[in-house]
Amino acid sequence: MKKRLSIFLLFITLTALRAVSFGQDKPSEEPQVEAKEQAKPTSESIYEEFEELIKVVKELQDKYVDEIQLNTILINAYRGMLSGLDPYSQYFSPEELEDLKIETEGEFEGLGIEVIIKDGLLIVITPLLDSPAFKAGILVGDRIIKIDGESTENMSIREAIKKLRGKLGTKITLTVVHEGDTAPVDITIERAKIYVNSIRGARIADDAYKIGYLAVSNFQENTAKDMDTAIQYLLKKGMKSLILDLRFNPGGLLNAAVDMADKFLEKGIIVSTRGRDKTQNYIYHARKKGTYPNFPMVVLVNNGSASASEIVAGALKDHKRGLLLGVKTFGKGSVQSLIPVGDGKAALKLTTARYYTPSGVCIHEKGIEPDITVPLTFAEIKALHEHLATLNIESKMNEVREKDAAPKGPVEEKGKPKYEDSQLERAIDILKGIEVYAKGIHTH
């Protein structure tokens, strides 16, 4: 059987969200992509370039103030080559690759934030829900200007990650500037054990109209399966419509996003990927088997919705399967592949393709505009953040795990939360309106 590269849509993280899929189903057909003809370098020109590289390595070994090992020079070279491409391509040493594999199991130690270097700034894409960073008050779009008092100016992503990581129970102080603010604030966070659970909670948000609510935190191997359990649970509760919450969802596995979207669509394109290498050109189609009933849907999104969550949002929007509500998504439309090197002990996480929504749009660095824009003020964002940080759905599930017993099903929240989520309330009102309108048609 031909070995396939793992494809995933992820940010450079300080968490286990860098889940890696070791294998994927082959899509049904290939899109036609026009490739521009480029002059191939000659053997002589390639030799000349490598000759220059060898000279540089020799000078480093002979004249650098401290003795430096060849392996160190080469690893630094690999990192430099990839850092010059885009913010998502990265070299994993054998030790880092092992950490990555451990983290993908869904339990790890850290801060729980997704970060990226953009325009020379260390930016928070989103803190994972219920993570130490989230609870401490780190927000989407925060600029981290200092780590334990040290400026992050001109700091590489590798250096930043090294400083942000640390032992369980140790503390770190991040100096951040919230998006839309100018005054820096110091936030101290204690590193802790984090459990990554894709399905944050499932409940009936409105008993009278039987409106279901499902929050998805990220996309891992079991996300579609866990969502299916949650949806069946809600249907048994009498659910007639659904609010799918993808806010603060930074993404994850491409296949998990495809499998989730497939559950809501009977036919048509879910997403396509296109790369310079023809093996990266795929079209993913929806299948009728296993599709949920055609209940009305509203999908909540914000600027922390990225990558795989944008695949789901884009597919549902283009097929008019659900209304998108909130604010424009982040805009990460590139695909990374994990490519083994060094006898499989190390790896490259390399951007190999971009993905396109069913309508053929690449949302990279553009994002997806919602059908219904419901912006939040900075104060409302902080209030929402604080509200979500106090929810105990995830912590209850963590307590169960710590007792070595897996939860039997989604945990239902009891009672109406004190905080009023204006985006969620607007979604509920819309679904109520759809229900009333449908009843009106049936009575005439």
Domain with CATH 2.30.42.10 in the chain: 107-195
Question: Which pLDDT score is estimated for 392?
Answer: 46
Mean per-residue pLDDT, 220-231:
92
Tens of pLDDT, residue by residue over 68-89, are 999 999 999 999 899 889 888 9
Tens of pLDDT, residue by residue over 282-330, are 999 999 999 999 999 999 999 999 999 999 999 999 999 999 999 999 9
Mean per-residue pLDDT, 239-256:
94
Residues in the chain: 444
Question: Which pLDDT score is estimated for 10?
Answer: 42
Please state, in angstroms and rounded to a whole number, the distance separating the CA atoms of residues 307 and 126.
Answer: 12
Question: Which pLDDT score is estimated for 101?
Answer: 65
* Residue 181 predicted with pLDDT over 80: yes
The architecture (CATH level 2) of 199-336+352-439 comes to Alpha-Beta Complex (3.90)
Mean per-residue pLDDT, 149-164:
87
Question: Which pLDDT score is estimated for 442?
Answer: 59
Look-up of token digits 């971009």: 354
Mean per-residue pLDDT, 210-217:
95
Please state, in angstroms and rounded to a whole number, the distance separating the CA atoms of residues 212 and 361.
Answer: 30
What's this model's pTM, rounded to 2 decimal places? 0.78
Question: Which pLDDT score is estimated for 389?
Answer: 67
Tens of pLDDT, residue by residue over 35-77, are 444 566 776 777 778 888 899 999 999 999 999 999 999 999 9
Q: What tokens appear for 164 in the block?
A: 């942000």
Closest residue by Cα to residue 259 from 295, 216, 301 = 216
Residue 200 — pLDDT band, cuts 50, 70, 90? confident
pLDDT over 70, % of the chain: 81
Residues known to be catalytic: 307, 318, 332
Question: Which pLDDT score is estimated for 98?
Answer: 75
Q: Is the dihedral of CA 402, 406, 411, 414 positive or negative?
A: negative
343 vs 305, more confident = 305
Q: What tokens appear for 230 in the block?
A: 């949650």
- How many whole angstroms from its chain centre is CA 255? 13
Question: Which pLDDT score is estimated for 35?
Answer: 42
131 vs 434, more confident = 434
* Residue 17 predicted with pLDDT over 60: no
Please state, in angstroms and rounded to a whole number, the distance separating the CA atoms of residues 70 and 78.
Answer: 12
Contacts 24+ apart (CB under 8 A), 258-261: 258/284, 258/311, 259/223, 259/224, 260/216, 260/219, 260/223, 260/224, 260/227, 260/312, 261/286, 261/311, 261/312, 261/315, 261/316
Cβ neighbours of 129 (radius 10 Å)? 25
Question: Which pLDDT score is estimated for 105?
Answer: 53
One-letter amino acid at 390 equals T
Three-state SS string over 72-108 comes to HHHHHHHHHHHHCCCCCCEEECHHHHHHHHHHCCCEE
Q: What tokens appear for 427 in the block?
A: 């979604």
Domain with CATH 3.90.226.10 in the chain: 199-336+352-439
Question: Which pLDDT score is estimated for 34?
Answer: 43
Is 223:260 a contact under the CB 8 Å cutoff? Answer: yes
Closest residue by Cα to residue 357 from 263, 257, 218, 227 = 257
258 vs 110, more confident = 258
C-alpha distance from residue 276 to each of 37, 38, 280, 319, 353 (Å) = 11, 12, 7, 28, 7
Is 230:260 a contact under the CB 8 Å cutoff? Answer: no
Query: With respect to CATH, is domain 107-195 assigned 2.30.42.10?
Result: yes
